[in-house]
Amino acid sequence: EGFQITDMVNPEMNNGSLSWIQMAEFEYRDGTTTPPKFLRDEPEQNHLPNELRIVGFVLMGTTILMSIGSATWVFIRRKHRIVAASQPEFLYMICFGAILQASAIFPKSFDEGSGWDVGQLSRGCMCTPWLLTLGHCIVYSALFTKQWRLNKVLQFTRRKIEIGHVALPMAVLLVTAILILILWTALDPLQWERKEIDSATGESIGNCESDTSMAFIIPLIIVMLIPTVLTAVMAYKTKDVDEVYTESWWIFVLIILQIEVVMISAPVIIILREESAEGQYFGIIFILWSFPMTTLSLLFFPKMMAYRRAIKGIEGPTHKRGAKGNSRISGVNVPPPISGTSNPSQYSYSKSAMIQSSRFSEAIPEGETERDMKEENGHVHETNGKPEILETPENMEETDQSAAQDDAVSKSFNEEVGEPTTTQKNDPAVDTEKVDTMTGDD
């Protein structure tokens, strides 16, 4: 607090009372009558501390390294049955989208305190929505397209499902997002502005501002939600497929975790937007780091464990969690594992297009052959330690009548997913064969 001189006055006694007579307005040294501002300490500008900025860079760097490492792991093992069945092309796209999301931390880590001018900070403001939106759309579009491609294979709709046959929705979403971002950048881009939050002390805080930002943010959120919802729907449709081919369970966990992250971080960002630069920055980098990190952890770590089990010959779970009884996958009826068999991933064939996915399951060590399953009402007994199916008089007649139909359906699906032939099953090199339908190889 302080005092300001505004007028020049003289005292005057009038009937024993003192009064003041204004002579003129006080003129300050600059020749004006406008009082200067009070002297005060250097106002607080709420610059990001270097320690917090380093934390952001470390989180960004570890995520990018993990993305590159995951993509490299997929590339090196792309011919192994575990990785080939997971459609490596889409795994590469997921890694690339994760890199874009993590890179959005970089432009959010600078302000005037780091030496950037207003122009550089304004350009950095627009980089964040570009990187976050495109990264999210690429990740979830790849997941949706991957699941959709698998679903089309299970429906027996085509002899071979190329990536181009299912890439249209991904292309439409990405083009839509890019158009919205271009319009936002051209018409009313985010600008770096410093706003005073305490007139007495002069304390201020810098933020990215735009008068019409919500007109672009809302459409972008809708575009980002579309592939997320479609991925959840397609994951539900393929939830009973062998885990070697689909990540349905982990996709559900991923979406739930990311919703929780948004519910925790969004209120923090909104409340602290004009109160604390440190709190706002922490909330932003928590979202930008957790989204790609959860994606990479939940989608790639289980594959690496399945690959390790396959290499060491350790039997692992392949049937989906919670699947009981007959499971329907977009019109394809998948029966439960046969009681009494040694491998839960082995299914029986019925007359209506049953799926046997254990050829490439993680429970089967490399080079190991499998027995072919007969009718599910046959008997199982051990021969030299290995189970075999014995036909009974009750089911032999039915088996003879439906043999041609079952063989045709089984052959059709085996051709679509690249099932090994009887000769190939005894060849250790079969594990290095790609799944024709998934990878597009002939």
Q: Each residue of 91-118: pLDDT tens digit?
A: 999 999 999 999 999 999 999 988 899 9
CATH superfamily of this structure's domain 50-312: Rhodopsin 7-helix transmembrane proteins (1.20.1070.10)
Predicted local confidence at residue 252, as pLDDT:
92
Predicted local confidence at residue 38, as pLDDT:
63
**Model confidence pLDDT, tens digit, residues 277-300:** 999 999 999 999 999 999 999 999
Number of helical (H) and strand (E) elements in the chain, helices listed first = 11, 8
Q: Which of 17-21, 291-295, 424-428 has the highest mean pLDDT?
A: 291-295
Pick the closest to residue 435 from 268, 300, 242 (CA basis).
Answer: 242
d(CA 263, CA 51): 26
**Model confidence pLDDT, tens digit, residues 305-321:** 888 888 887 655 544 44
Q: Residue 29 — very low, low, confident or very high, per pLDDT cuts 50/70/90?
A: confident
- Structure tokens of 208? 């990215």
**Model confidence pLDDT, tens digit, residues 201-215:** 788 899 999 999 999
Q: Residue 73 — very low, low, confident or very high, per pLDDT cuts 50/70/90?
A: very high
Predicted local confidence at residue 152, as pLDDT:
79
Asked if 77 contacts 307 with a C-beta cutoff of 8 angstroms, the reply is yes
User: Given the DSSP bridges, would you call strands 327-329 and 386-390 parallel, antiparallel or unpaired?
Assistant: unpaired
Residue 327 phi, psi (nearest 5): -115, 135
The percent helix, strand, coil of the chain (3-state, each to 5) is 55, 10, 35
- pLDDT, mean of residues 252-261: 94
Query: In DSSP terms, which residues pair with 7 in a beta bridge?
Result: 25
d(CA 132, CA 196): 29
- Structure tokens of 136? 């999210």
The domains of the chain are located at 1-39, 50-312, 327-439
**DSSP for residue 34:** P
In the chain, the percentage of residues whose pLDDT exceeds 70 is 62
**DSSP for residue 113:** G
User: Is residue 398 pLDDT above 80, yes or no?
Assistant: no
